[in-house]
Chain A
Amino acid sequence: MALPRLAVTQAVLDPQALAASVSSASSTPVGAVATFVGLVRAENMGRRVQYLEYEAYEPLAVRAFARIETELAERYPHLVIGVHHRTGRLAVGEASVAIAVASAHRADAFVACRYAIERLKQIAPIWKHEYFDEGEVWIEGATADPDDEAAKSEAWRRTCA
C-alpha cells in the first residue's frame, strides 16, 4: 500500500515513488519536481558513525509536515509537497528523509524543497540517536516553537528566495 504524501515510516524510503506521487497529485500542469534526500552520513562532528536510530512522535511529526505544507501554500498555492521520514535503525548511506515538490516551474520547486527541510529540522518532533565508534549520543530533535516567526523567517532566508 502506498504511503500518504506526508508520513513517518519504518520502511525504506523511495524518493522516486514520492516524486511520482506529488507530480500525479497536482491539479495544475507540472514542469518541475525537486527532491531532497537526507542520508545517514558516515561522520558527524569528528565521530565515525556506525548507525543511527530515529525516533518520532509520529502523529505530531505528521502534523508538523502538514504545517509546512500549509506555510508553503500561503506563498505557492499550486505546489504539491510530499515528506517521508524514516524511523528505526538506519545504516550509513541510507535515506532518513525524502522530500519532493512538484510545481509549474523549477524555481519554486527548489525554494519549497529547501524550505521544507529547514522547517522540518526546526519543528518536527524527530530525534536521532547516534551510535559511533566510542559511544552513543542523542544528537537531534526539533523543539522550535512552530509559532516562532523568527525561526520561520530563518527557514525562508536559507532558501535564498
Chain B
Amino acid sequence: MRVTVRLFARLRELAGASELERTVDGPATIGSVWADLVNSFPALAPYSRTISAARNLEYARPDAPVEEGDEIAFLPPVSGGSTNAPSGEDPV
C-alpha cells in the first residue's frame, strides 16, 4: 500500500525530504512504516526511541494500524528544555 510520510526538523534534514511517498507491505503499522523508513535512511535509526507519530493528524502509537493513503508524520523529540525543568530554565 502507499502512504505519505511527513518528516520535520532534524528528521527532515537527515532524510533529505519533508514528504515521501512510500510503498509498504500490508498489514502495516506506524512502527513498521518507521522501520521501513530507517532501512532507507539509516541515519534516522537513533531517533527510533524518541520520536512520536501522527496518523492523519491524530497522534498514534507504534502499534496503530496504517491504511492505504494515510498521512503518517514522524515528529522528532525535544532536544532542549524540559517540561519538568523549573520555568526559569525553559528556553522560551
Q: Give the size of the chain B interface in residues (CB under 8 angstroms).
A: 25
Size bin of chain A's contact surface: 20 to 34
| A:42-67 near B, CB below 8 Å | 44-45, 55, 57, 59-60, 63
**Pick the contact of A141 from B57, B59, B76, B83 — CB < 8 Å?**
B76
B: which residues have CB within 8 A of A?
A: 6, 8-10, 12, 50-52, 54, 57, 59, 73, 75-81, 83-84, 87, 90-92
Docked-complex contact B81 and A139, CB < 8 angstroms: yes
Interface centre among B6, B59, B73, by most chain A C-beta atoms within 10 angstroms, is B59
**Pick the contact of B9 from A127, A144, A151 — CB < 8 Å?**
A127
User: A155 — nearest CB in chain B belongs to which residue?
Assistant: B83
Interface centre among A117, A121, A139, A143, by most chain B C-beta atoms within 10 angstroms, is A143
A: which residues have CB within 8 A of B?
A: 38, 44-45, 55, 57, 59-60, 63, 117, 121-122, 125, 127, 129, 137-147, 151, 154, 158
Which residues of the other chain, A, contact B59 by a CB distance below 8 angstroms?
145-147
Please judge, given known A-B contacts A44-B91, A55-B9, A60-B54, whether A143 and B77 are in contact too, CB under 8 Å.
yes
Docked-complex contact B91 and A151, CB < 8 angstroms: no
Which residues of the other chain, A, contact B73 by a CB distance below 8 angstroms?
57, 60, 125
Docked-complex contact B84 and A140, CB < 8 angstroms: no
Please judge, given known A-B contacts A60-B54, A154-B84, whether A141 and B75 are in contact too, CB under 8 Å.
yes
Which residues of the other chain, B, contact A59 by a CB distance below 8 angstroms?
57
Write the nearest CB–CB distance from B86 to chain A, whole angstroms: 10
Complex CA–CA separation, A117 to B91 (angstroms): 12
Which residues of the other chain, B, contact A140 by a CB distance below 8 angstroms?
78-81, 91
Write the nearest CB–CB distance from A7 to chain B, whole angstroms: 16
**Pick the contact of B52 from A129, A139, A143 — CB < 8 Å?**
A143
Please judge, given known A-B contacts A55-B8, A127-B8, whether A141 and B78 are in contact too, CB under 8 Å.
yes
Docked-complex contact A121 and B90, CB < 8 angstroms: yes
